[in-house]
Structure 1
Amino acid sequence: MGGRGASMGKGSGASSPAAGGGGGPAQVEPAAPATEQGPPEPEVTKPEATEPEKAGPEMAGAPVSGQPSDAPVAENGWGYDPDLPVSYHDDGPIGTAVKYMGADGQMDIDGQPLANVLGRVATDVVHGRRTPQQGLEEYQAIRDRLPENSQARNCLDFEIRKMDAPASPPPPLPDATPEPLRRLVGELNAIPLVRQDPSKELGPLTELCEQAAAGRASGRRLKRAIQELANRRHESLGDSGKFTIDRALRAAADALDQPPAQP
Protein backbone atom coordinates (compact mmCIF):
# COMPACT_ATOMS: atom_id res chain seq x y z
CA MET A 1 0.00 0.00 0.00
CA GLY A 2 1.28 3.54 -0.31
CA GLY A 3 4.52 4.85 1.18
CA ARG A 4 7.05 2.20 1.99
CA GLY A 5 4.19 -0.30 1.95
CA ALA A 6 4.33 -1.27 -1.72
CA SER A 7 1.94 -1.09 -4.57
CA MET A 8 -1.05 -3.32 -5.01
CA GLY A 9 0.85 -5.42 -7.53
CA LYS A 10 3.76 -6.30 -5.27
CA GLY A 11 4.26 -10.02 -5.05
CA SER A 12 2.09 -10.71 -8.09
CA GLY A 13 4.59 -13.20 -9.49
CA ALA A 14 4.61 -15.38 -6.39
CA SER A 15 2.30 -18.32 -5.67
CA SER A 16 -0.70 -17.49 -3.53
CA PRO A 17 -3.18 -19.61 -1.57
CA ALA A 18 -5.88 -18.77 -4.07
CA ALA A 19 -3.75 -19.72 -7.07
CA GLY A 20 -3.10 -23.21 -5.69
CA GLY A 21 0.60 -22.95 -6.44
CA GLY A 22 1.58 -24.26 -3.04
CA GLY A 23 3.77 -21.26 -2.28
CA GLY A 24 1.30 -19.23 -0.23
CA PRO A 25 1.99 -15.84 1.16
CA ALA A 26 5.47 -15.20 2.41
CA GLN A 27 5.81 -16.14 6.06
CA VAL A 28 6.35 -13.38 8.59
CA GLU A 29 10.01 -13.23 9.57
CA PRO A 30 10.88 -14.83 12.93
CA ALA A 31 10.42 -12.90 16.14
CA ALA A 32 13.36 -10.79 17.17
CA PRO A 33 15.30 -12.04 20.20
CA ALA A 34 14.49 -10.33 23.49
CA THR A 35 17.87 -8.64 23.51
CA GLU A 36 17.61 -7.24 20.00
CA GLN A 37 16.74 -3.61 19.80
CA GLY A 38 14.33 -3.04 16.93
CA PRO A 39 13.04 0.25 15.56
CA PRO A 40 11.08 2.32 18.11
CA GLU A 41 7.46 1.30 18.38
CA PRO A 42 4.87 3.64 16.89
CA GLU A 43 3.76 6.50 19.12
CA VAL A 44 0.34 5.99 20.61
CA THR A 45 -1.79 8.69 19.05
CA LYS A 46 -4.45 8.88 21.77
CA PRO A 47 -4.61 7.92 25.43
CA GLU A 48 -5.33 4.27 25.96
CA ALA A 49 -8.31 3.20 27.96
CA THR A 50 -8.81 -0.04 29.79
CA GLU A 51 -11.89 -0.58 27.61
CA PRO A 52 -11.36 0.61 24.01
CA GLU A 53 -14.09 2.75 22.52
CA LYS A 54 -14.93 0.30 19.78
CA ALA A 55 -16.26 -3.04 20.95
CA GLY A 56 -17.15 -5.86 18.60
CA PRO A 57 -17.07 -6.08 14.82
CA GLU A 58 -18.43 -3.06 12.98
CA MET A 59 -18.02 -4.38 9.45
CA ALA A 60 -20.98 -6.79 9.45
CA GLY A 61 -23.12 -5.71 6.53
CA ALA A 62 -24.16 -6.49 3.00
CA PRO A 63 -22.00 -8.77 0.87
CA VAL A 64 -19.35 -6.98 -1.17
CA SER A 65 -20.01 -7.00 -4.91
CA GLY A 66 -16.38 -7.24 -5.99
CA GLN A 67 -16.48 -4.02 -8.00
CA PRO A 68 -13.44 -1.73 -7.58
CA SER A 69 -13.61 1.47 -5.58
CA ASP A 70 -12.88 4.82 -7.21
CA ALA A 71 -11.09 6.02 -4.05
CA PRO A 72 -7.28 5.79 -3.96
CA VAL A 73 -5.42 3.34 -1.76
CA ALA A 74 -4.21 5.24 1.29
CA GLU A 75 -0.56 5.97 1.95
CA ASN A 76 0.90 3.77 4.68
CA GLY A 77 2.76 5.92 7.22
CA TRP A 78 4.57 3.06 8.96
CA GLY A 79 8.07 4.09 9.94
CA TYR A 80 7.70 7.80 9.27
CA ASP A 81 4.21 9.13 10.10
CA PRO A 82 2.27 7.13 12.71
CA ASP A 83 -0.53 9.73 12.68
CA LEU A 84 -1.75 8.78 9.20
CA PRO A 85 -5.04 6.84 9.16
CA VAL A 86 -3.12 3.84 7.82
CA SER A 87 0.15 3.14 9.60
CA TYR A 88 1.05 -0.50 10.18
CA HIS A 89 3.85 -2.90 9.21
CA ASP A 90 3.08 -4.21 5.74
CA ASP A 91 5.05 -7.44 6.23
CA GLY A 92 2.66 -8.67 8.93
CA PRO A 93 -0.45 -10.81 8.42
CA ILE A 94 -2.73 -8.05 7.10
CA GLY A 95 -0.05 -6.45 4.93
CA THR A 96 0.78 -9.87 3.50
CA ALA A 97 -2.89 -10.56 2.74
CA VAL A 98 -3.23 -7.20 0.96
CA LYS A 99 -0.10 -7.74 -1.12
CA TYR A 100 -1.12 -11.23 -2.25
CA MET A 101 -4.71 -10.32 -3.09
CA GLY A 102 -3.33 -7.99 -5.77
CA ALA A 103 -5.99 -5.99 -7.63
CA ASP A 104 -8.66 -7.23 -5.20
CA GLY A 105 -7.23 -4.79 -2.67
CA GLN A 106 -9.07 -2.09 -4.64
CA MET A 107 -12.39 -3.91 -4.14
CA ASP A 108 -15.07 -1.50 -2.90
CA ILE A 109 -16.30 -2.01 0.64
CA ASP A 110 -18.58 0.75 1.94
CA GLY A 111 -17.04 3.29 -0.44
CA GLN A 112 -13.38 2.54 0.31
CA PRO A 113 -10.84 0.14 -1.16
CA LEU A 114 -10.58 -3.08 0.85
CA ALA A 115 -6.87 -2.33 1.43
CA ASN A 116 -7.80 0.89 3.26
CA VAL A 117 -10.47 -0.78 5.40
CA LEU A 118 -8.12 -3.54 6.51
CA GLY A 119 -5.25 -1.10 7.00
CA ARG A 120 -7.28 1.13 9.30
CA VAL A 121 -8.31 -1.78 11.52
CA ALA A 122 -4.69 -2.95 11.64
CA THR A 123 -3.60 0.59 12.57
CA ASP A 124 -6.16 0.71 15.38
CA VAL A 125 -4.71 -2.50 16.84
CA VAL A 126 -1.15 -1.17 16.55
CA HIS A 127 -2.06 1.99 18.48
CA GLY A 128 -4.27 0.36 21.10
CA ARG A 129 -7.58 1.76 19.89
CA ARG A 130 -8.83 -1.80 19.44
CA THR A 131 -7.78 -4.89 21.33
CA PRO A 132 -6.17 -7.66 19.26
CA GLN A 133 -9.31 -9.76 19.80
CA GLN A 134 -11.51 -6.96 18.47
CA GLY A 135 -9.17 -6.54 15.51
CA LEU A 136 -9.37 -10.25 14.74
CA GLU A 137 -13.16 -10.13 14.87
CA GLU A 138 -13.14 -7.17 12.47
CA TYR A 139 -10.87 -9.03 10.02
CA GLN A 140 -13.23 -12.00 10.19
CA ALA A 141 -16.31 -9.84 9.62
CA ILE A 142 -14.65 -8.21 6.59
CA ARG A 143 -13.63 -11.61 5.21
CA ASP A 144 -17.17 -12.94 5.51
CA ARG A 145 -18.51 -10.11 3.33
CA LEU A 146 -16.10 -10.75 0.47
CA PRO A 147 -17.09 -12.74 -2.63
CA GLU A 148 -16.69 -16.50 -2.25
CA ASN A 149 -13.47 -17.88 -3.78
CA SER A 150 -12.15 -14.41 -4.55
CA GLN A 151 -8.43 -13.79 -4.22
CA ALA A 152 -9.18 -11.25 -1.49
CA ARG A 153 -11.22 -13.65 0.62
CA ASN A 154 -8.79 -16.54 0.23
CA CYS A 155 -5.74 -14.47 1.11
CA LEU A 156 -7.39 -12.79 4.10
CA ASP A 157 -8.72 -16.10 5.40
CA PHE A 158 -5.24 -17.66 5.08
CA GLU A 159 -3.75 -14.96 7.33
CA ILE A 160 -6.65 -14.93 9.79
CA ARG A 161 -6.21 -18.65 10.41
CA LYS A 162 -2.57 -17.96 11.32
CA MET A 163 -3.61 -15.23 13.79
CA ASP A 164 -6.54 -16.98 15.47
CA ALA A 165 -6.49 -19.16 18.58
CA PRO A 166 -9.34 -20.72 20.57
CA ALA A 167 -10.50 -18.91 23.69
CA SER A 168 -9.25 -20.48 26.91
CA PRO A 169 -9.28 -19.63 30.63
CA PRO A 170 -6.15 -18.05 32.12
CA PRO A 171 -3.72 -20.48 33.77
CA PRO A 172 -4.31 -21.01 37.50
CA LEU A 173 -2.13 -18.91 39.81
CA PRO A 174 -1.20 -19.18 43.48
CA ASP A 175 -3.40 -17.21 45.89
CA ALA A 176 -0.45 -15.03 46.91
CA THR A 177 0.27 -13.84 43.36
CA PRO A 178 0.71 -10.02 43.34
CA GLU A 179 -2.38 -8.36 41.89
CA PRO A 180 -0.54 -6.57 39.01
CA LEU A 181 0.75 -9.95 37.83
CA ARG A 182 -2.65 -11.59 38.16
CA ARG A 183 -4.18 -8.83 36.00
CA LEU A 184 -1.35 -9.14 33.50
CA VAL A 185 -1.92 -12.88 33.09
CA GLY A 186 -5.58 -12.20 32.29
CA GLU A 187 -4.73 -9.42 29.83
CA LEU A 188 -2.18 -11.50 27.95
CA ASN A 189 -4.41 -14.55 27.86
CA ALA A 190 -7.08 -12.44 26.13
CA ILE A 191 -4.75 -11.90 23.15
CA PRO A 192 -5.05 -14.60 20.44
CA LEU A 193 -1.38 -14.19 19.50
CA VAL A 194 -0.37 -15.07 23.07
CA ARG A 195 -2.72 -18.04 23.31
CA GLN A 196 -1.35 -19.30 20.00
CA ASP A 197 2.20 -19.38 21.37
CA PRO A 198 2.26 -18.95 25.18
CA SER A 199 5.93 -19.91 25.44
CA LYS A 200 7.15 -16.37 24.78
CA GLU A 201 5.31 -14.46 27.51
CA LEU A 202 2.59 -16.39 29.31
CA GLY A 203 4.62 -19.46 30.22
CA PRO A 204 7.55 -17.53 31.73
CA LEU A 205 5.12 -15.12 33.40
CA THR A 206 3.27 -17.98 35.12
CA GLU A 207 6.59 -19.20 36.52
CA LEU A 208 7.36 -15.69 37.78
CA CYS A 209 3.97 -15.57 39.49
CA GLU A 210 4.77 -18.80 41.33
CA GLN A 211 8.16 -17.44 42.38
CA ALA A 212 6.64 -14.15 43.55
CA ALA A 213 3.91 -15.93 45.52
CA ALA A 214 6.54 -18.07 47.23
CA GLY A 215 8.69 -15.04 48.07
CA ARG A 216 11.53 -16.07 45.75
CA ALA A 217 11.16 -13.06 43.43
CA SER A 218 10.32 -9.51 44.43
CA GLY A 219 11.33 -5.87 44.12
CA ARG A 220 13.65 -4.80 41.32
CA ARG A 221 14.47 -8.35 40.33
CA LEU A 222 10.79 -9.17 39.70
CA LYS A 223 10.19 -5.89 37.87
CA ARG A 224 13.20 -6.44 35.61
CA ALA A 225 12.07 -10.00 34.85
CA ILE A 226 8.66 -8.72 33.74
CA GLN A 227 10.22 -6.00 31.58
CA GLU A 228 12.45 -8.58 29.88
CA LEU A 229 9.38 -10.45 28.62
CA ALA A 230 8.65 -7.52 26.27
CA ASN A 231 9.87 -7.28 22.67
CA ARG A 232 9.78 -11.04 22.06
CA ARG A 233 7.58 -10.65 18.99
CA HIS A 234 8.58 -9.03 15.73
CA GLU A 235 7.13 -5.57 15.10
CA SER A 236 5.41 -6.86 11.96
CA LEU A 237 2.93 -8.58 14.32
CA GLY A 238 1.65 -5.22 15.54
CA ASP A 239 -1.61 -5.81 13.65
CA SER A 240 -2.25 -8.88 15.80
CA GLY A 241 -1.03 -7.70 19.19
CA LYS A 242 2.76 -7.28 19.53
CA PHE A 243 2.57 -3.70 20.85
CA THR A 244 -0.44 -4.49 23.05
CA ILE A 245 1.62 -7.23 24.71
CA ASP A 246 4.56 -4.90 25.31
CA ARG A 247 2.40 -2.11 26.72
CA ALA A 248 0.70 -4.52 29.14
CA LEU A 249 4.06 -5.85 30.35
CA ARG A 250 5.47 -2.37 30.94
CA ALA A 251 2.33 -1.24 32.76
CA ALA A 252 2.42 -4.28 35.06
CA ALA A 253 6.10 -3.76 35.82
CA ASP A 254 5.40 -0.13 36.74
CA ALA A 255 2.44 -1.17 38.90
CA LEU A 256 4.73 -3.33 41.00
CA ASP A 257 6.27 -0.08 42.31
CA GLN A 258 2.90 1.09 43.64
CA PRO A 259 1.80 0.19 47.18
CA PRO A 260 -1.09 -2.31 47.26
CA ALA A 261 -4.54 -0.79 47.52
CA GLN A 262 -5.99 -0.72 51.01
CA PRO A 263 -9.13 -2.85 51.49
Structure 2
Amino acid sequence: MKKILTSILMASALATSALAGDENTLSTAEEAAGWQLLFDGETTDGWRNYGHEDLSGDWRADGGTLTFTPGKAGDIITDATFTNFELSIDWKISKGGNSGIFFNVVEGQPYAYMTGPEYQLLDNANRDEPPLEQAGALFALYAPTTDVSHPAESWNTSRLVVNGGYIEHWLNDVKVVSYDMDSDDFKSRVSASKFSPDGPNADVMKHFATARSGHIALQDHGDKIAFRNIKIKPLP
Protein backbone atom coordinates (compact mmCIF):
# COMPACT_ATOMS: atom_id res chain seq x y z
CA MET A 1 0.00 0.00 0.00
CA LYS A 2 2.82 2.38 0.89
CA LYS A 3 4.48 1.70 -2.49
CA ILE A 4 1.20 2.37 -4.32
CA LEU A 5 0.62 5.60 -2.39
CA THR A 6 4.15 6.74 -3.17
CA SER A 7 3.61 6.05 -6.86
CA ILE A 8 0.36 8.03 -6.82
CA LEU A 9 2.03 10.98 -5.11
CA MET A 10 4.92 10.93 -7.58
CA ALA A 11 2.53 10.83 -10.52
CA SER A 12 0.57 13.72 -9.05
CA ALA A 13 3.74 15.75 -8.54
CA LEU A 14 4.85 15.09 -12.12
CA ALA A 15 1.44 16.12 -13.45
CA THR A 16 1.54 19.32 -11.40
CA SER A 17 5.05 20.07 -12.61
CA ALA A 18 3.99 19.53 -16.22
CA LEU A 19 1.04 21.83 -15.81
CA ALA A 20 3.24 24.50 -14.25
CA GLY A 21 5.29 24.63 -17.45
CA ASP A 22 2.28 24.97 -19.74
CA GLU A 23 2.20 28.74 -20.20
CA ASN A 24 -0.61 30.42 -22.13
CA THR A 25 -2.91 27.44 -21.74
CA LEU A 26 -6.04 26.70 -19.74
CA SER A 27 -6.38 23.75 -17.41
CA THR A 28 -9.45 21.56 -17.57
CA ALA A 29 -10.68 23.18 -14.35
CA GLU A 30 -10.18 26.68 -15.77
CA GLU A 31 -12.07 25.80 -18.93
CA ALA A 32 -14.91 24.37 -16.85
CA ALA A 33 -14.98 27.56 -14.77
CA GLY A 34 -15.37 29.71 -17.90
CA TRP A 35 -11.86 31.12 -18.28
CA GLN A 36 -10.76 32.29 -21.75
CA LEU A 37 -7.29 33.01 -23.12
CA LEU A 38 -6.62 36.51 -24.44
CA PHE A 39 -3.16 35.54 -25.72
CA ASP A 40 -2.29 32.20 -27.29
CA GLY A 41 1.47 32.55 -26.81
CA GLU A 42 2.21 32.48 -30.53
CA THR A 43 0.27 35.26 -32.24
CA THR A 44 -1.12 38.70 -31.46
CA ASP A 45 -4.60 37.68 -32.59
CA GLY A 46 -7.30 39.50 -30.66
CA TRP A 47 -5.24 42.67 -30.06
CA ARG A 48 -4.89 45.93 -31.97
CA ASN A 49 -3.65 49.43 -31.33
CA TYR A 50 -6.01 51.82 -29.60
CA GLY A 51 -7.90 53.75 -32.27
CA HIS A 52 -6.59 51.55 -35.10
CA GLU A 53 -7.48 48.32 -36.84
CA ASP A 54 -3.97 46.87 -36.85
CA LEU A 55 -1.10 46.31 -34.42
CA SER A 56 2.28 48.05 -34.35
CA GLY A 57 5.34 45.85 -34.87
CA ASP A 58 6.75 47.05 -31.55
CA TRP A 59 4.16 44.78 -29.92
CA ARG A 60 4.83 41.18 -30.87
CA ALA A 61 4.54 37.57 -29.80
CA ASP A 62 8.04 36.59 -28.69
CA GLY A 63 9.00 33.35 -26.95
CA GLY A 64 5.59 32.77 -25.47
CA THR A 65 5.16 36.38 -24.36
CA LEU A 66 3.32 39.42 -25.65
CA THR A 67 6.21 41.87 -25.57
CA PHE A 68 6.48 45.62 -26.01
CA THR A 69 9.83 46.92 -27.19
CA PRO A 70 10.28 50.70 -26.80
CA GLY A 71 9.35 52.59 -29.92
CA LYS A 72 6.28 54.53 -30.96
CA ALA A 73 3.87 51.66 -30.65
CA GLY A 74 1.05 53.18 -28.60
CA ASP A 75 -1.34 51.39 -26.26
CA ILE A 76 -3.05 48.22 -27.44
CA ILE A 77 -6.56 46.95 -26.71
CA THR A 78 -8.51 43.74 -26.95
CA ASP A 79 -10.77 43.36 -29.96
CA ALA A 80 -13.50 42.21 -27.58
CA THR A 81 -15.16 44.25 -24.87
CA PHE A 82 -15.98 43.02 -21.37
CA THR A 83 -18.35 44.01 -18.59
CA ASN A 84 -18.01 42.06 -15.35
CA PHE A 85 -14.92 39.84 -15.26
CA GLU A 86 -11.86 38.52 -13.51
CA LEU A 87 -8.58 39.08 -15.35
CA SER A 88 -5.35 37.26 -14.57
CA ILE A 89 -2.09 38.31 -16.21
CA ASP A 90 1.63 37.73 -15.69
CA TRP A 91 4.02 40.59 -16.38
CA LYS A 92 7.78 41.16 -16.34
CA ILE A 93 9.09 44.70 -16.58
CA SER A 94 12.52 46.14 -17.33
CA LYS A 95 14.64 47.87 -14.68
CA GLY A 96 13.02 51.17 -13.76
CA GLY A 97 10.07 50.34 -15.99
CA ASN A 98 6.56 51.76 -15.88
CA SER A 99 3.41 50.45 -17.58
CA GLY A 100 -0.23 49.73 -16.86
CA ILE A 101 -3.40 47.78 -17.54
CA PHE A 102 -6.56 49.74 -18.34
CA PHE A 103 -10.12 48.44 -18.16
CA ASN A 104 -13.52 49.70 -19.35
CA VAL A 105 -11.70 51.51 -22.15
CA VAL A 106 -13.93 53.20 -24.70
CA GLU A 107 -12.45 54.51 -27.95
CA GLY A 108 -13.15 58.02 -29.16
CA GLN A 109 -10.74 59.99 -26.96
CA PRO A 110 -7.07 60.63 -27.82
CA TYR A 111 -5.74 58.07 -25.31
CA ALA A 112 -6.95 54.99 -23.44
CA TYR A 113 -6.35 56.52 -19.98
CA MET A 114 -8.97 59.16 -20.66
CA THR A 115 -11.74 56.61 -20.22
CA GLY A 116 -10.19 53.55 -18.59
CA PRO A 117 -8.88 53.39 -14.99
CA GLU A 118 -5.33 52.05 -14.73
CA TYR A 119 -3.94 49.16 -12.73
CA GLN A 120 -0.35 50.35 -12.34
CA LEU A 121 2.63 48.18 -13.27
CA LEU A 122 6.04 49.35 -12.03
CA ASP A 123 9.52 48.34 -10.97
CA ASN A 124 9.07 49.78 -7.48
CA ALA A 125 12.67 49.19 -6.42
CA ASN A 126 14.26 51.20 -9.20
CA ARG A 127 11.62 53.83 -9.88
CA ASP A 128 11.05 56.40 -7.14
CA GLU A 129 7.31 56.92 -7.46
CA PRO A 130 4.82 57.94 -4.74
CA PRO A 131 2.54 55.23 -3.29
CA LEU A 132 -0.35 56.22 -5.56
CA GLU A 133 1.80 55.31 -8.55
CA GLN A 134 3.37 52.06 -7.35
CA ALA A 135 2.72 48.53 -8.59
CA GLY A 136 -0.84 47.42 -7.94
CA ALA A 137 -2.22 50.93 -7.41
CA LEU A 138 -5.21 52.40 -9.13
CA PHE A 139 -3.00 54.99 -10.72
CA ALA A 140 -3.10 58.37 -8.94
CA LEU A 141 -6.20 57.43 -6.94
CA TYR A 142 -5.70 54.44 -4.59
CA ALA A 143 -2.32 53.27 -3.25
CA PRO A 144 -1.61 49.58 -2.63
CA THR A 145 -1.83 48.54 1.00
CA THR A 146 1.55 46.79 0.79
CA ASP A 147 4.42 46.29 -1.64
CA VAL A 148 4.48 42.67 -2.77
CA SER A 149 5.98 43.34 -6.20
CA HIS A 150 8.83 41.20 -7.48
CA PRO A 151 12.12 42.67 -8.76
CA ALA A 152 12.62 43.93 -12.31
CA GLU A 153 12.96 41.17 -14.91
CA SER A 154 11.01 38.78 -12.63
CA TRP A 155 7.47 37.61 -13.26
CA ASN A 156 4.58 39.10 -11.31
CA THR A 157 0.97 37.95 -11.43
CA SER A 158 -1.80 40.53 -11.32
CA ARG A 159 -5.47 39.83 -10.91
CA LEU A 160 -8.19 42.39 -11.56
CA VAL A 161 -11.78 41.79 -10.49
CA VAL A 162 -14.37 44.08 -12.06
CA ASN A 163 -17.95 43.63 -10.89
CA GLY A 164 -20.11 46.62 -11.71
CA GLY A 165 -18.53 49.54 -9.91
CA TYR A 166 -16.73 47.35 -7.37
CA ILE A 167 -13.08 46.65 -8.22
CA GLU A 168 -10.30 44.61 -6.63
CA HIS A 169 -6.58 44.72 -7.48
CA TRP A 170 -4.53 41.65 -6.56
CA LEU A 171 -0.77 41.36 -6.90
CA ASN A 172 1.10 38.09 -6.38
CA ASP A 173 -1.87 36.56 -4.53
CA VAL A 174 -2.38 39.54 -2.21
CA LYS A 175 -5.33 41.93 -2.46
CA VAL A 176 -3.67 45.34 -2.44
CA VAL A 177 -6.50 47.68 -3.49
CA SER A 178 -10.31 47.70 -3.51
CA TYR A 179 -12.74 50.49 -4.29
CA ASP A 180 -16.23 51.29 -5.52
CA MET A 181 -16.39 53.56 -8.55
CA ASP A 182 -19.95 54.52 -7.62
CA SER A 183 -18.94 55.69 -4.13
CA ASP A 184 -18.57 59.28 -2.94
CA ASP A 185 -15.00 58.49 -1.91
CA PHE A 186 -14.05 57.47 -5.44
CA LYS A 187 -15.73 60.48 -6.98
CA SER A 188 -14.01 62.88 -4.58
CA ARG A 189 -10.62 61.37 -5.36
CA VAL A 190 -11.23 61.71 -9.08
CA SER A 191 -12.33 65.32 -8.63
CA ALA A 192 -9.08 66.11 -6.81
CA SER A 193 -6.90 64.42 -9.44
CA LYS A 194 -5.77 65.06 -13.01
CA PHE A 195 -8.78 63.01 -14.10
CA SER A 196 -11.24 65.58 -12.75
CA PRO A 197 -14.23 66.22 -15.02
CA ASP A 198 -14.21 69.78 -13.69
CA GLY A 199 -10.50 70.46 -14.14
CA PRO A 200 -8.46 72.03 -16.95
CA ASN A 201 -8.76 68.86 -19.04
CA ALA A 202 -12.49 68.50 -18.56
CA ASP A 203 -13.18 68.30 -22.28
CA VAL A 204 -11.32 64.98 -22.56
CA MET A 205 -11.55 63.68 -18.98
CA LYS A 206 -15.33 63.95 -18.58
CA HIS A 207 -15.66 60.30 -19.65
CA PHE A 208 -13.05 58.92 -17.24
CA ALA A 209 -14.29 55.88 -15.26
CA THR A 210 -17.88 56.41 -16.40
CA ALA A 211 -18.22 53.29 -18.57
CA ARG A 212 -19.10 49.94 -16.98
CA SER A 213 -17.99 47.96 -20.02
CA GLY A 214 -15.17 48.27 -22.53
CA HIS A 215 -11.84 47.06 -23.84
CA ILE A 216 -8.84 45.96 -21.80
CA ALA A 217 -5.70 47.89 -22.75
CA LEU A 218 -1.97 47.41 -22.21
CA GLN A 219 0.12 50.55 -22.00
CA ASP A 220 3.03 51.81 -24.05
CA HIS A 221 4.83 53.93 -21.45
CA GLY A 222 8.16 53.76 -23.24
CA ASP A 223 9.64 50.88 -21.18
CA LYS A 224 10.07 47.27 -22.20
CA ILE A 225 7.52 44.89 -20.70
CA ALA A 226 6.40 41.33 -21.40
CA PHE A 227 3.07 39.66 -20.66
CA ARG A 228 1.96 36.02 -20.62
CA ASN A 229 -0.91 33.88 -19.30
CA ILE A 230 -3.48 36.57 -20.09
CA LYS A 231 -6.76 34.99 -19.01
CA ILE A 232 -10.25 36.33 -18.41
CA LYS A 233 -13.35 34.88 -16.82
CA PRO A 234 -16.65 36.69 -17.42
CA LEU A 235 -18.71 37.18 -14.25
CA PRO A 236 -22.52 37.18 -14.05
| TM-score, scaled relative to structure 1 | 0.23
Bigger CA radius of gyration: 1
**Looking at both structures, which has the greater relative contact order when contacts are Cα pairs under 8 Å and sequence separation is at least 6?**
2
